């Protein structure tokens, strides 16, 4: 993305964030219903040109509404439950004792339905504006963006909770006063998600400024949804359409995708939550930074408190020579020469960093030793401590790095798995090429035959700490998921392995308790959405 495009996107995100309160109210009965404002901005006095419309849809990409999911729920659900991360804080995700009162359950549910609420209101507003004679040239792509967001999030909801409510007109629901909204069966939630993505694919442009979704973003997300459903033929078709477009590539700087704001919206990204470095690190910045960094990386501006660290099992997963290990994980001897005290009068506890940071498990913590529970820390999304390191801005706990939710490496591995299509193995040349592109970047020898376990391994190490591995386990079905989890070392060096309490009813998360109190229908058996 050019500097000019970055500045434009940032201005639009800021403007949209200011506009959002005028567009949406959040005071209705259920957290998952967002009611449109009945005053202020209207279709009659606004959305008269592309700039006004795109300023509004920028809100859907902004880190603000995504905050409660991406900051910790994404880690707890996707990687702690998946066995990639160890944590002292979210232990219920380690041993599968998650309750309906869990903070992460409520946070992710609230974030997903809030963003869906925003998309719902925009979609209805833009359609009304178009019906009143508004310009289709700028309204149709915005309508398609809303469909993409709804489709993606209902896919995320279906794979996280299984059965769930579907809300398309929150204004009508809120004004009716009838909040007895049921859960719909997972199959129908997935069908709804797919139909939304199909609408997005139809209406989105072939290309746009970096950071905006396109037709290929929709195709890639559809491929992922089809794979989840084991619809291998359609998964293959959609993944192949993205691959053959020639619009995407694997970037050479793997670590930079997650630690350099200058690499936001690179050639590998199909959809990312858009962050920006701002003076308020808790506003629009990425705040994964402190949860992942080594405790030794203390500065006068902020601490890193290693809330999530690589699991013992994850550390065993890397093949010898896999470059993704040092690109994703800090272990003894790992260094970063740019991480130095930024002030002449830096605190004494930063003295060990005078010549750069070295991850050292042989020194006591008060001398800069890195003694996490598993003697490792996470590199992904850890931009560094202090105000600026290596030219990349960091303020307090926040950084300007986008959070990537779909990238080209995923599309390549989806294609390979779709060709395998549940068989014992495949030597298909195109499937091998797709998988081996990912392995080649990691410095590994190519495969000549692919099995399902090969693909699961590749997905685990490629997307480690990106919040996805639990869903790869889950979609294997209960019997295989149980076998995978029971073989994992989900503990730490200090306290040994954690015993898991995994059973078939733990395949999906419980609906937040507060939602069921407000809407008892959510506690009843799911019903069909499509009649």
21, 66, 131, 306 from 144: Cα distances, Å = 22, 20, 16, 39
As a whole number of angstroms, the distance between CA 150 and CA 201 comes to 13
The kind and range of the H/E element at 106 are helix 103-131
Q: Which residue has the higher pLDDT, 421 or 3?
A: 421
Model confidence at 59: pLDDT above 90: yes
- Residue of 480, 466, 488, 366 whose CA lies nearest to 413: 466
| Predicted local confidence at residue 46, as pLDDT | 84
As a whole number of angstroms, the distance between CA 521 and CA 140 comes to 35
Model confidence at 431: pLDDT above 60: yes
Find the angle CA(184)-CA(188)-CA(189) to the nearest 5 degrees: 75
As a whole number of angstroms, the distance between CA 108 and CA 75 comes to 11
Of 132-136, 275-279, 469-473, least confident by mean pLDDT is 275-279
Output the six-digit token pair for 244.
Answer: 């053959």
| Predicted local confidence at residue 9, as pLDDT | 39
Chain mean pLDDT for the chain:
87
Model confidence at 279: pLDDT above 60: no
Of 2-16, 40-54, 103-117, 239-253, least confident by mean pLDDT is 2-16
pTM for the structure as a whole: 0.91
Dump pLDDT digits (tens) for 387-422: 666 667 676 677 889 999 999 999 999 999 999 999
| Predicted local confidence at residue 368, as pLDDT | 84
| Predicted local confidence at residue 35, as pLDDT | 43
| Predicted local confidence at residue 501, as pLDDT | 82
- Residue of 295, 308, 305, 312 whose CA lies nearest to 495: 312
Of 66-75, 169-178, 210-219, least confident by mean pLDDT is 169-178
Confidence of residue 495 (pLDDT cuts 50, 70, 90): low
Q: Which residue has the higher pLDDT, 37 or 439?
A: 439
As a whole number of angstroms, the distance between CA 196 and CA 120 comes to 12
| Predicted local confidence at residue 40, as pLDDT | 47
- Residue of 467, 330, 326 whose CA lies nearest to 385: 330
Of 31-45, 60-74, 447-461, 512-526, least confident by mean pLDDT is 31-45
As a whole number of angstroms, the distance between CA 349 and CA 99 comes to 40
Mean pLDDT on 364-369: 84
Confidence of residue 358 (pLDDT cuts 50, 70, 90): very high
Dump pLDDT digits (tens) for 465-475: 999 999 999 99
Model confidence at 129: pLDDT above 80: yes
Of 81-85, 218-222, 466-470, 499-503, least confident by mean pLDDT is 499-503
Output the six-digit token pair for 345.
Answer: 């009068």
- Residue of 419, 418, 442 whose CA lies nearest to 319: 442
As a whole number of angstroms, the distance between CA 101 and CA 161 comes to 14
Dump pLDDT digits (tens) for 94-122: 999 999 999 999 999 999 999 999 999 99
Dump pLDDT digits (tens) for 12-26: 333 333 333 334 333
- How much of the chain, in percent, has pLDDT values that exceed 70? 83
As a whole number of angstroms, the distance between CA 293 and CA 289 comes to 6
| Predicted local confidence at residue 365, as pLDDT | 83
Model confidence at 31: pLDDT above 50: no
Mean pLDDT on 179-199: 96
49, 127, 150 from 140: Cα distances, Å = 12, 9, 15
| Predicted local confidence at residue 27, as pLDDT | 32
DSSP letters spanning 176-201: HT---PPPB-HHHHHHHHHHHHHHHH
| Predicted local confidence at residue 20, as pLDDT | 39
Of 71-75, 154-158, 258-262, 494-498, least confident by mean pLDDT is 494-498
CB atoms within 10 A of CB 443: 12
Find the angle CA(426)-CA(406)-CA(490) to the nearest 5 degrees: 75
Mean pLDDT on 512-526: 94
Q: Which residues pair with 406 in a beta bridge?
A: 271
Model confidence at 349: pLDDT above 80: no
Helix residue spans in 318-368 (DSSP H): 324-328
Identify whether the C-beta of residue 334 lies closer than 8 Å to the C-beta of residue 275: no
Find the angle CA(362)-CA(368)-CA(370) to the nearest 5 degrees: 55
| Predicted local confidence at residue 199, as pLDDT | 98
User: Alpha-carbon dihedral of residues 311, 312, 314, 315, nearest 10 degrees?
Assistant: 120
Of 299-303, 387-391, 502-506, least confident by mean pLDDT is 299-303
Mean pLDDT on 125-137: 94
70, 263, 274, 523 from 251: Cα distances, Å = 23, 10, 19, 46
* Residues whose CB is less than 8 angstroms from the CB of residue 324 and which lie 6 or more positions away in sequence, other chains included: 254, 318, 442, 461, 462, 464
Model confidence at 213: pLDDT above 90: yes
Model confidence at 502: pLDDT above 60: yes
């Amino acid at each position: 993305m050019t500097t000019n495009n970055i500045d434009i996107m940032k201005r639009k995100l800021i403007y949209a964030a200011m506009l959002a309160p005028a567009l949406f109210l959040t005071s209705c009965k259920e957290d998952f219903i967002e009611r449109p404002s009945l005053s202020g901005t209207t279709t009659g006095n606004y959305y008269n040109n592309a700039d006004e419309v795109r300023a509004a849809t920028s809100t859907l990409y902004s880190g603000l509404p995504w905050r409660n999911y991406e900051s910790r729920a994404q880690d707890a659900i996707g990687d702690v439950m998946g066995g990639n991360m160890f944590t002292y804080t979210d232990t219920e995700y380690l041993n599968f004792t998650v309750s309906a009162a869990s903070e992460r359950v409520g946070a992710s549910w609230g974030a997903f339905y809030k963003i869906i609420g925003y998309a719902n209101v925009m979609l209805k507003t833009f359609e009304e504006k178009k019906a009143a004679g508004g310009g289709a040239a700028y309204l149709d792509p915005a309508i398609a963006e809303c469909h993409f967001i709804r489709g993606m999030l209902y896919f995320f909801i279906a794979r996280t909770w299984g059965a769930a409510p579907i809300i398309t007109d929150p204004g009508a629901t809120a004004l009716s006063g009838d909040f007895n909204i049921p859960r719909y069966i997972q199959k129908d939630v997935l069908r709804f998600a797919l139909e939304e993505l199909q609408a997005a694919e139809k209406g989105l442009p072939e290309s746009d400024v970096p950071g905006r979704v396109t037709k290929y973003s929709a195709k890639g997300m559809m491929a992922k949804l089809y794979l989840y459903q084991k619809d291998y033929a359609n998964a293959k078709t959609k993944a192949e359409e993205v691959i053959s477009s020639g619009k995407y590539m694997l970037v050479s700087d793997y670590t930079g995708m997650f630690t350099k704001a200058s690499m936001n919206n690179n050639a590998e990204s199909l959809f990312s939550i858009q962050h920006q470095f701002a003076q308020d690190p808790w506003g629009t910045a990425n705040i994964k930074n402190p949860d992942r960094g080594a405790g030794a990386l203390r500065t006068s501006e902020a601490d890193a408190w290693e809330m999530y660290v690589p699991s013992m099992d994850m550390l065993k997963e890397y093949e010898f020579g896999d470059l993704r290990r040092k690109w994703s994980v800090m272990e003894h001897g790992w260094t970063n020469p740019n991480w130095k005290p930024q002030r002449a009068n830096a605190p004494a506890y930063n003295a060990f960093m005078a010549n750069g940071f070295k991850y050292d498990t042989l020194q006591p913590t008060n001398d800069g030793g890195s003694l996490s529970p598993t003697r490792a820390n996470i590199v992904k999304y850890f931009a560094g401590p202090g105000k600026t390191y290596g030219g990349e801005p960091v303020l307090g706990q926040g950084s300007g790095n986008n959070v990537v939710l779909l990238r080209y490496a995923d599309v390549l591995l989806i294609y390979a798995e779709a060709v395998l299509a549940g068989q014992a193995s495949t030597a298909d040349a195109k499937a091998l090429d797709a998988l081996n592109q990912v392995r080649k970047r990691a410095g590994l020898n190519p495969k000549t035959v692919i099995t399902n376990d090969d693909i699961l391994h590749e997905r685990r190490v490629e997307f480690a700490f990106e919040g996805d591995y639990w869903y790869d386990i889950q979609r294997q079905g209960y019997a295989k998921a149980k076998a995978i989890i029971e073989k994992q070392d989900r503990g730490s060096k200090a306290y040994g392995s954690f015993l898991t309490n995994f059973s078939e009813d733990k395949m999906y998360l419980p609906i937040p308790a507060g939602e069921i109190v407000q809407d008892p229908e959510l506690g009843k058996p799911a019903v069909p959405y499509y009649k």
